[in-house]
Amino acid sequence: MPISHAKAREIAERLRKGRDMEDLPDLLAPREISEHPLPDRIPHPRAWSASAHRARLEFLSERGLSVPALSGDAPDPDPETLQGQIENFIGYTRTPTGLIGPLRVNGLHAQGDFYAPLATSEGALIASYDRGAWILSRAGGVSCVTSVEQVQRAPGFAFEDIADAVHFAAWAVDQFERFREAAASRTRYGRLIDLSTHIEANHVYLILAIHPGDAAGQNMVTLCTAAICEDILERTPIQPSYWFLESNMSGDKKATVLSFLNTRGRNVIAECRIPRTLIEKGLHTTPEQMDRYWRMSFIGGVQTGSIGVSGHIANGLAALFLACGQDVACVSEASVGITRMEVTEGGDLYASLTLPNLIVGTVGGGTRLPTAQESLGILDCVGTGKAAAFAEICGAVALAGEISIVGALCAGHFHEAHARLGRPDSGGDQRTEESGSGT
């Protein structure tokens, strides 16, 4: 996304965190398994027995992770504790949750080998992402960077004529520091970081960008925007004829072309380089064929008017969002992204994924629910100071899914895996250490 000089400097300072930028290549570099062996894979893949289920719980327990809410051993929360999460409560919709991994992440904020919980009822999805995670980890991992972090609200104001609209807009842009104080009166963690104006005839749209701290930020920015609008109505030299807190110009819960011009959420970039031998053995195809598929699918996406072009980002993000207590409706904007695959000069595969609108958080909202706390705990992403790391893990998981599905389509295995794993009593199969199974 294009950003202003001032904002670019602010982001650079935040990303440094006291480090020299010269250290960045080492931080994001692949960690080869010859020097940094991968941890164990999840036991009993593609086994649905009670004993296999217990073995996976023991696998987590051995790593100091207790998941009584996820496993069903803990009682449901007292309904009175759910205020702020639900109204007219009657019970729970329970979605099966599985693990993928290990997934090696070499991020600016997330560093390590992670097991990611995904909640889904789609057969073959866990197998697909697990295979992708294994391929990426064997290649040294995924390099990830969370850069811009901001959430917008866009209040709209109507005036009698263009002259009043221009007068108001000119006044508003000079009120940034006052607006920042008004926003701070409604939150301890968020802060107003940018203000843009857009005039359409006698309408003025103010696009307010707020850094959400470690929250997803939807409620925070709404309350902060309300405070700013109250201040505007008290002090503006030109009173609007009418106004609305949200003018449908922020991109909230919808895919928009604004995604690639103005991040809403957290902007995450992920990349990897996969050796040819790993593509051939693990995905049963070639870098050239995956490059060809990407080119054709990109052209197909352009012809259908796709906002962003990817394989199935929404699959992995929806499953992560469900497991980790995120606002699932935000997948509509969070899954806008660009996947890219190219053959390198050395004949390997370069793959990248850009997610400009990743609305995620590790505090507040649904993250307080017991199962969400346990899922975030598996990722070491509970509480403050963890949102940027969680965003990078989301990017790595999504890229794992992209690698796996493109590999399956190139190898002609896409329909076979869904026949094996997408139906009850279809038998499944056991993955091999080299290639895995699923798509």
Residues designated as active site: 122, 327, 418
Q: What is residue 99's three-state secondary structure? A: strand
Task: Answer whether 267's CB lies under 8 Å from 211's CB.
Answer: no
- What burial class does residue 71 get, using C-beta atoms within 10 Å of its C-beta: 0-12 exposed, 13-18 middle, 19+ buried? middle
Instruction: Write the DSSP assignment of 279-345 as a string of letters.
Output: IIIIISS-HHHHHHHHHHHHHHHHHTT-SSB-SSHHHHHHHHHHHTT--GGGHHHHT--EEEEEE-T
Residue holding tokens 């007068």? 167
Question: What secondary structure letter does DSSP report for 363?
Answer: B
Q: What is residue 401's three-state secondary structure? A: helix
Task: Answer whether 128's CB lies under 8 Å from 408's CB.
Answer: yes
Alpha carbons 140 and 29: distance in angstroms, whole number: 8
Task: Answer whether 97's CB lies under 8 Å from 377's CB.
Answer: no
Question: What secondary structure letter does DSSP report for 139?
Answer: T
Alpha carbons 188 and 260: distance in angstroms, whole number: 29
Q: What is residue 254's three-state secondary structure? A: coil
What single-letter amino acid sits at 431?
A: R
